[in-house]
Structure 1
Amino acid sequence: MFIAGASQMSGPWAGYVSDRTRSAYGRRRPVLVKGAVVAAPSLVMLLVARTYYGSLGGWAPTLYYVAFTATMLALNVMYTAASGIVPDMIPDDQTGQSNGVLAAMSAAGACMGFVYTMVYPDVGSLYWFYLALLATCVPITCYCATEESSLGGVASSDDVESSAREGSTSATVDSAFSWRELASMYTISPFVPEQKSFFWLFVCRTLYYTGISAQVFLLYLLRDTAVKEDGSGLEGHEPQQTVARLSFIGQVGGMIAAYPAGLLSDVFGRKPLIVIACAGIISVYIMFMYIHRLTSIMYIGVYYGALNGMFLSVDYALAIDCLPSRENAARWLAVWGVASFIGTSIGPTVFALILHFSPQPADGRAYGSSQEGYDVMLVVGAVWMALCASFLCLVDSKKPRAREL
């Protein structure tokens, strides 16, 4: 988990390189392909380390850590480059709509992962699944994203052939590359006029992910407080199975809500929908304090997923609206992405301390927390959500231009 989180710090560097890539194929696709070239063999190394754990002896964990680090860095570089495609190619008045599609596809991908895991529970098969996704999705993305050549003009076949004769098809980084400037890619200031709105949006995103990270403890909340139709609590593997079902239906809810939310944000603006999402999450936390019947919790899961899908769709669109520089879009979106890492690091730490010092369950169990402990956790999560909505007033979004439904 530490490696996965720390790898996100490579985002601003990857964005800096992508923004300055000069190629007949554009700025994003060369970085995307190079990331895939690293990710594919790294996934194979992960599979080898897991499959031949016994025969590799003490080298297996080391191989796994090295391969996992390379995989996460490569995937993060690919994600950073791909995130720059949207502001590069999508008109301002369709930003919300396009990000609605993006959020819906992310939720659909998560649902597909859940289904695959249920059908093929062997974890080892997932590596082949990832490799197949990589081999399928990268070519499709590169084919569909007809970027303008960063050498000048659209990267048509004639441009590529001409560049090949001149020996310039390989992607190169602009000669203006500066280590001092690269170091500045990791900073964002509320005192620089063009960065002010983006800074406060970064704060809002951090607060949202700090509050939403209460879901990390959902398994324990259900184990200790949920009741079945017959009035009994969850036993054995039932909490895990319940969380799996909730995760699936939550993703379905997010998939359904993401596109309409993005579309509506193009008409009514981004901030109202984000406030609605935050208020809705607060209502979910209040419901978790008082509703313990398992059937009702499943309905809450759909509602919760829809709200999260709404936020993910509109928050990304608002980030694009507030970019300090469209020319350096990948760099700024990478900085914006780090906010989720900060939030999901702070939130679980605080929530864990709350539950650790909460009273023991009233039924005499030697493990778990009381309802009062979970109530405090949910209230703190709701406060962070309220702060997220409140700080939006400091975000000045001049886009999108309103358009008819």
Structure 2
Amino acid sequence: MRTVTLILVDDDGKLLGALPPFPAEVPFWPEVGGVVTTVRERFGIDVAVLRILFTSLPVPHGGEVTYLAQTGGVPSVDLAPVEVDLDDHPHRAAYARVGGPAASLAWAADALDAAGVGPITGVLQQRTWNLSVIWRIATAGGPVWLKQVPSFFAHEGAVIGWLATVGGGPSLIAAAEGRMLLHDIPGDDLYAADAGVRDAVAADLHRYQLAAVGDVERLAALGVPDRRGALLGAQLAGVVAAHGGGDPRLEALAAGLPARLAELAACGLPETLVHGDLHPGNVRGDLHPDGARTIIDWGDSFLGHPGFDILRITERGVTDDERAAITAAWADRWRADVPGCDPERALELLVPLAALRNAAIYAAFVAAIEPAEHPYHSSDVDFWLDHASKLPA
């Protein structure tokens, strides 16, 4: 449960005041669908949630949360006077600024018209935070989704476009400047996926990764971050140097990176397109291994070792035996397609690197967002560094 306060500004950015606090059932801070619906029903106005301002907790779940929201309406209650710093910040996403949501929806309307999908008949903002804003849009041709991401995820639209060339990924209507219009995907986000579904997802991804092996330079030219070989080593050594606090276990891990990466390369698996966050919630479809599935949310994708993804999809939610079976099937697929490679040894070498990479990604998020948003990710850097320090060398 969250207790939500919205501080309102008008369409010119003028501070209006704060609505009375109200509860939001879903605790995760980025989820704003229920928030905007409650405001419409309780206070009689439509709002666009721009960004988070204050929180009572250091983690993005529950507590008291204050957002800045834009409205063109007049609420049915008096607004409380507030003082808040509305100065701009260089790391603020375009969609988190006054007028940003309206500009994105106007772009969507033009793109839908050009694609012949049909006029917009309804809009509901679903999520907003420093990693994305998502709207569900009703059209005469059916529901579509508008997603916009910050500059450090700007390659996502290009990756989805590339996936279409190999018969995978979401169905893209249009993409430009971090904005993506996507056809609706029937089904559910597969957070509850069992081992069979996870293995099927890994098999789907294997097909895309095989196709990407011969296309990595094209993907790099499209802006997909390159974390192959020494570039990965530099990223991981950098997070230890900046945030490791002199921990001797982390220092030893960093010092051994060149040798570890050389042995990893000798295992013979090709570097390719990596999803980067392949948990079951980033797959949408049916909870059955033979059902339809679509891997979504490619913003974390990069060029690197395919083992990162199998470690992520087996990270939690499966038993040790299930994890071993999914991993063995993954290894068999790579051995069949790349004779002589050693997938099992590659994963052994990757385990501590995966933890360091998580820390590096969260550190990069924190460095690229404004201070009010740091609670979304700041505790994750220390968590993953501590985890890496306790893994076998």
**Normalising by the residue count of structure 2, what TM-score does the alignment of the two structures yield?**
0.23
Structure richer in strand, relative to its length = 2
